[in-house]
Amino acid sequence: MNLVIPILHSSILGVPLYPLFFLGACAGGIYASWVLTQKWPEFRNVRYFDACVSIWVLGILGAKGAAILLSPIPFKSYLDPFKLIYLFEGGYQLLGGTVAAIIALCILSYIWRSEISFWRLCHLVMLVGLPMFALGRLGCLFAGCCFGLQAADGATGLHVMYGESYGVLSQGPRIAVQLYDSIGVATLSLLLWTRCPPVNRSVFRVVGGRIALVLGIFGAGRWIEDGFRDPYSRMELKWAGMYFSQWIALSLAVLGIIVGMVWLRQSFKKG
Protein backbone atom coordinates (compact mmCIF):
# COMPACT_ATOMS: atom_id res chain seq x y z
CA MET A 1 0.00 0.00 0.00
CA ASN A 2 1.25 3.46 -0.89
CA LEU A 3 -0.15 6.34 1.16
CA VAL A 4 0.96 9.83 0.15
CA ILE A 5 0.21 12.60 2.64
CA PRO A 6 0.21 16.15 1.22
CA ILE A 7 1.89 18.86 3.30
CA LEU A 8 1.17 22.08 1.44
CA HIS A 9 2.23 24.78 3.89
CA SER A 10 4.36 25.09 7.02
CA SER A 11 1.92 27.59 8.54
CA ILE A 12 -1.79 28.25 8.98
CA LEU A 13 -3.06 31.82 8.61
CA GLY A 14 0.51 33.02 8.81
CA VAL A 15 1.22 31.16 12.06
CA PRO A 16 4.12 28.67 11.70
CA LEU A 17 3.12 25.16 12.72
CA TYR A 18 6.50 24.13 14.11
CA PRO A 19 6.34 26.43 17.18
CA LEU A 20 2.80 25.20 17.88
CA PHE A 21 4.01 21.61 18.07
CA PHE A 22 6.99 22.71 20.14
CA LEU A 23 4.82 24.59 22.63
CA GLY A 24 2.29 21.75 22.65
CA ALA A 25 5.01 19.23 23.51
CA CYS A 26 6.37 21.44 26.31
CA ALA A 27 2.94 22.23 27.79
CA GLY A 28 1.87 18.59 27.49
CA GLY A 29 5.04 17.43 29.21
CA ILE A 30 4.57 19.78 32.15
CA TYR A 31 0.89 18.81 32.48
CA ALA A 32 1.64 15.08 32.28
CA SER A 33 4.36 15.47 34.92
CA TRP A 34 1.91 17.22 37.23
CA VAL A 35 -0.81 14.60 36.70
CA LEU A 36 1.54 11.71 37.39
CA THR A 37 3.01 13.32 40.51
CA GLN A 38 -0.52 13.96 41.78
CA LYS A 39 -2.23 10.70 40.85
CA TRP A 40 0.39 7.92 40.94
CA PRO A 41 1.51 6.98 44.47
CA GLU A 42 5.08 6.24 43.41
CA PHE A 43 5.63 9.87 42.33
CA ARG A 44 3.92 11.72 45.19
CA ASN A 45 6.89 13.84 46.09
CA VAL A 46 7.32 17.38 44.77
CA ARG A 47 10.94 16.61 43.92
CA TYR A 48 9.81 14.26 41.15
CA PHE A 49 7.93 17.10 39.47
CA ASP A 50 10.85 19.51 39.95
CA ALA A 51 13.33 16.99 38.57
CA CYS A 52 11.17 16.02 35.58
CA VAL A 53 10.57 19.61 34.45
CA SER A 54 14.25 20.47 34.95
CA ILE A 55 15.29 17.47 32.88
CA TRP A 56 13.09 18.50 29.96
CA VAL A 57 14.32 22.10 30.04
CA LEU A 58 17.92 20.90 29.98
CA GLY A 59 17.06 18.33 27.31
CA ILE A 60 15.61 21.02 25.03
CA LEU A 61 18.66 23.22 25.51
CA GLY A 62 20.86 20.18 24.89
CA ALA A 63 19.06 19.43 21.64
CA LYS A 64 19.58 22.99 20.45
CA GLY A 65 23.20 23.03 21.61
CA ALA A 66 23.98 19.72 19.89
CA ALA A 67 22.53 21.01 16.61
CA ILE A 68 24.80 24.06 16.83
CA LEU A 69 28.00 22.33 17.92
CA LEU A 70 27.77 19.29 15.65
CA SER A 71 27.08 21.10 12.41
CA PRO A 72 29.76 20.23 9.82
CA ILE A 73 29.74 23.75 8.36
CA PRO A 74 30.04 27.13 10.03
CA PHE A 75 26.68 28.85 9.89
CA LYS A 76 25.24 31.87 11.65
CA SER A 77 24.68 29.95 14.89
CA TYR A 78 28.42 30.03 15.53
CA LEU A 79 28.45 33.79 15.18
CA ASP A 80 25.45 34.36 17.44
CA PRO A 81 25.94 33.18 21.04
CA PHE A 82 22.24 33.78 21.71
CA LYS A 83 21.19 31.29 19.04
CA LEU A 84 20.83 28.71 21.80
CA ILE A 85 17.75 30.45 23.21
CA TYR A 86 16.01 30.88 19.84
CA LEU A 87 13.83 27.92 20.61
CA PHE A 88 11.11 28.43 18.01
CA GLU A 89 13.28 28.47 14.89
CA GLY A 90 13.84 24.71 14.71
CA GLY A 91 17.27 23.24 14.30
CA TYR A 92 17.27 20.62 17.06
CA GLN A 93 19.32 17.46 17.41
CA LEU A 94 16.70 15.40 19.25
CA LEU A 95 19.00 12.52 20.13
CA GLY A 96 21.53 15.03 21.43
CA GLY A 97 18.74 16.32 23.65
CA THR A 98 18.10 12.74 24.78
CA VAL A 99 21.71 12.43 25.91
CA ALA A 100 21.48 15.77 27.75
CA ALA A 101 18.27 14.60 29.46
CA ILE A 102 19.90 11.32 30.58
CA ILE A 103 22.88 13.20 32.03
CA ALA A 104 20.56 15.65 33.82
CA LEU A 105 18.52 12.71 35.17
CA CYS A 106 21.62 11.08 36.66
CA ILE A 107 22.83 14.33 38.23
CA LEU A 108 19.46 15.35 39.74
CA SER A 109 18.70 11.87 41.05
CA TYR A 110 22.07 11.94 42.81
CA ILE A 111 21.60 15.44 44.25
CA TRP A 112 18.13 14.55 45.59
CA ARG A 113 18.94 10.89 46.31
CA SER A 114 17.53 11.14 49.85
CA GLU A 115 14.13 12.18 48.47
CA ILE A 116 13.67 10.41 45.15
CA SER A 117 14.53 7.08 43.56
CA PHE A 118 16.69 6.95 40.44
CA TRP A 119 14.59 4.19 38.86
CA ARG A 120 11.28 5.86 39.70
CA LEU A 121 12.56 9.08 38.14
CA CYS A 122 13.59 7.10 35.03
CA HIS A 123 10.06 5.71 34.90
CA LEU A 124 8.50 9.19 35.18
CA VAL A 125 10.77 10.74 32.56
CA MET A 126 10.05 7.85 30.19
CA LEU A 127 6.27 8.18 30.61
CA VAL A 128 6.36 11.93 30.01
CA GLY A 129 9.12 12.07 27.41
CA LEU A 130 7.77 9.66 24.81
CA PRO A 131 4.57 11.66 24.04
CA MET A 132 6.65 14.85 23.93
CA PHE A 133 9.04 13.26 21.44
CA ALA A 134 6.19 11.98 19.25
CA LEU A 135 4.60 15.44 19.10
CA GLY A 136 7.93 17.10 18.42
CA ARG A 137 8.57 14.81 15.44
CA LEU A 138 5.27 15.94 13.91
CA GLY A 139 6.65 19.45 14.15
CA CYS A 140 9.66 18.26 12.13
CA LEU A 141 7.26 16.90 9.50
CA PHE A 142 5.55 20.26 8.99
CA ALA A 143 8.79 22.23 9.25
CA GLY A 144 10.26 20.20 6.38
CA CYS A 145 13.36 19.22 8.34
CA CYS A 146 14.85 15.76 8.93
CA PHE A 147 13.18 14.73 5.65
CA GLY A 148 13.52 11.29 4.14
CA LEU A 149 14.87 10.01 0.85
CA GLN A 150 12.87 10.56 -2.30
CA ALA A 151 10.51 7.64 -2.81
CA ALA A 152 11.10 5.35 -5.77
CA ASP A 153 8.34 4.92 -8.33
CA GLY A 154 5.79 2.40 -7.13
CA ALA A 155 7.32 2.13 -3.65
CA THR A 156 4.96 1.13 -0.85
CA GLY A 157 4.66 2.75 2.56
CA LEU A 158 3.99 6.16 4.05
CA HIS A 159 5.19 9.06 1.94
CA VAL A 160 4.86 12.81 2.21
CA MET A 161 4.40 15.21 -0.70
CA TYR A 162 5.48 18.74 0.13
CA GLY A 163 3.92 21.78 -1.53
CA GLU A 164 5.72 24.39 -3.61
CA SER A 165 6.34 26.57 -0.54
CA TYR A 166 8.93 23.98 0.57
CA GLY A 167 11.14 24.56 -2.49
CA VAL A 168 13.19 21.58 -3.65
CA LEU A 169 11.28 19.24 -1.34
CA SER A 170 8.26 19.56 -3.63
CA GLN A 171 9.99 17.73 -6.48
CA GLY A 172 8.47 14.37 -5.54
CA PRO A 173 7.14 12.22 -2.68
CA ARG A 174 9.54 11.41 0.10
CA ILE A 175 9.67 8.65 2.70
CA ALA A 176 7.83 10.01 5.75
CA VAL A 177 10.56 9.18 8.27
CA GLN A 178 9.30 11.81 10.72
CA LEU A 179 5.82 10.27 10.66
CA TYR A 180 7.14 6.73 11.08
CA ASP A 181 9.13 7.93 14.06
CA SER A 182 6.18 9.75 15.61
CA ILE A 183 3.77 6.83 15.16
CA GLY A 184 6.24 4.32 16.59
CA VAL A 185 7.05 6.40 19.68
CA ALA A 186 3.37 7.27 20.23
CA THR A 187 2.44 3.57 20.08
CA LEU A 188 5.16 2.69 22.60
CA SER A 189 3.97 5.51 24.84
CA LEU A 190 0.34 4.35 24.64
CA LEU A 191 1.34 0.84 25.67
CA LEU A 192 3.23 2.16 28.68
CA TRP A 193 0.40 4.41 29.82
CA THR A 194 -2.36 1.80 29.41
CA ARG A 195 -0.60 -1.48 30.19
CA CYS A 196 1.87 -0.53 32.91
CA PRO A 197 0.23 0.25 36.27
CA PRO A 198 1.92 2.37 38.95
CA VAL A 199 4.78 0.71 40.79
CA ASN A 200 4.17 -0.03 44.45
CA ARG A 201 6.73 -2.76 45.05
CA SER A 202 10.34 -3.70 44.26
CA VAL A 203 11.17 -0.80 41.94
CA PHE A 204 13.88 -2.06 39.60
CA ARG A 205 12.32 -5.51 39.38
CA VAL A 206 9.25 -3.92 37.75
CA VAL A 207 10.55 -0.71 36.13
CA GLY A 208 13.84 -2.16 34.86
CA GLY A 209 12.07 -4.26 32.25
CA ARG A 210 10.07 -1.27 31.01
CA ILE A 211 13.17 0.91 30.75
CA ALA A 212 15.09 -1.81 28.89
CA LEU A 213 12.18 -2.30 26.48
CA VAL A 214 11.84 1.41 25.71
CA LEU A 215 15.58 2.00 25.27
CA GLY A 216 15.98 -1.07 23.07
CA ILE A 217 12.97 -0.45 20.80
CA PHE A 218 13.47 3.31 20.64
CA GLY A 219 17.20 3.08 19.91
CA ALA A 220 16.88 0.31 17.31
CA GLY A 221 13.91 2.01 15.66
CA ARG A 222 15.71 5.34 15.42
CA TRP A 223 18.81 3.66 14.02
CA ILE A 224 16.75 1.97 11.28
CA GLU A 225 14.75 5.10 10.53
CA ASP A 226 17.93 7.18 10.27
CA GLY A 227 19.07 5.03 7.36
CA PHE A 228 16.16 6.37 5.27
CA ARG A 229 16.91 10.04 5.87
CA ASP A 230 18.16 12.18 3.02
CA PRO A 231 21.84 13.13 3.57
CA TYR A 232 20.96 16.72 2.62
CA SER A 233 18.61 16.90 5.61
CA ARG A 234 21.49 16.47 8.04
CA MET A 235 23.44 19.15 9.83
CA GLU A 236 25.72 16.91 11.83
CA LEU A 237 29.14 15.35 11.79
CA LYS A 238 29.88 11.87 10.48
CA TRP A 239 32.32 9.45 12.10
CA ALA A 240 33.34 5.90 11.08
CA GLY A 241 30.61 5.68 8.46
CA MET A 242 27.71 6.76 10.67
CA TYR A 243 26.24 10.11 11.65
CA PHE A 244 26.16 11.35 15.23
CA SER A 245 22.44 10.57 15.60
CA GLN A 246 22.99 7.00 14.38
CA TRP A 247 25.72 6.44 16.97
CA ILE A 248 23.47 7.79 19.72
CA ALA A 249 20.56 5.59 18.59
CA LEU A 250 22.79 2.53 18.52
CA SER A 251 24.17 3.38 21.98
CA LEU A 252 20.63 3.65 23.39
CA ALA A 253 19.75 0.23 21.95
CA VAL A 254 22.89 -1.31 23.50
CA LEU A 255 22.12 0.40 26.82
CA GLY A 256 18.64 -1.11 26.67
CA ILE A 257 20.13 -4.58 26.20
CA ILE A 258 22.48 -4.06 29.17
CA VAL A 259 19.66 -2.83 31.44
CA GLY A 260 17.54 -5.76 30.28
CA MET A 261 20.25 -8.27 31.12
CA VAL A 262 20.70 -6.75 34.60
CA TRP A 263 16.92 -6.77 35.08
CA LEU A 264 16.65 -10.42 34.10
CA ARG A 265 19.48 -11.32 36.44
CA GLN A 266 17.88 -9.44 39.33
CA SER A 267 14.47 -10.95 38.57
CA PHE A 268 15.76 -14.53 38.58
CA LYS A 269 17.82 -13.88 41.69
CA LYS A 270 14.82 -12.52 43.64
CA GLY A 271 12.30 -14.88 42.06
Residue 101 within any structural domain of the chain: yes
How many percent of the chain have pLDDT more than 70? 81
Residue 52: closest CA among 71, 35, 65: 35
Between 73 and 176, the higher pLDDT residue: 176
106 domain-assigned: yes
| 169 within 8 A of 230, measured Cβ to Cβ | no
Assess if residue 193 is contained within a domain.
yes
Residue 243 lies in a domain: no
| Separation of alpha carbons 236 and 270, rounded Å | 45
Q: Give a yes or no: residue 94 inside a domain.
A: yes
Q: Which residues pair with 238 in a beta bridge?
A: 243
pLDDT digits (tens, 9 = 90+) for 45-84: 889 999 999 998 888 888 777 777 766 554 444 455 555 5
**Cβ(8)–Cβ(165) under 8 Å?**
yes
Question: Is residue 180 included in any domain, yes or no?
Answer: yes
> C-alpha distances in angstroms, 137 versus 76, 160, 165, 232, 263?
24, 14, 20, 18, 30
Within its chain, how far is the Cα of 137 from the centroid? Answer: 8
| Residue 242 belongs to a domain | no
Number of domains in the chain: 1
User: What tens digit of pLDDT does each residue of 127-158 get?
Assistant: 898 888 888 888 888 888 788 888 877 777 88
Q: Which domain holds residue 70?
A: 7-146+160-200
Q: Does 244 map to a domain? A: no
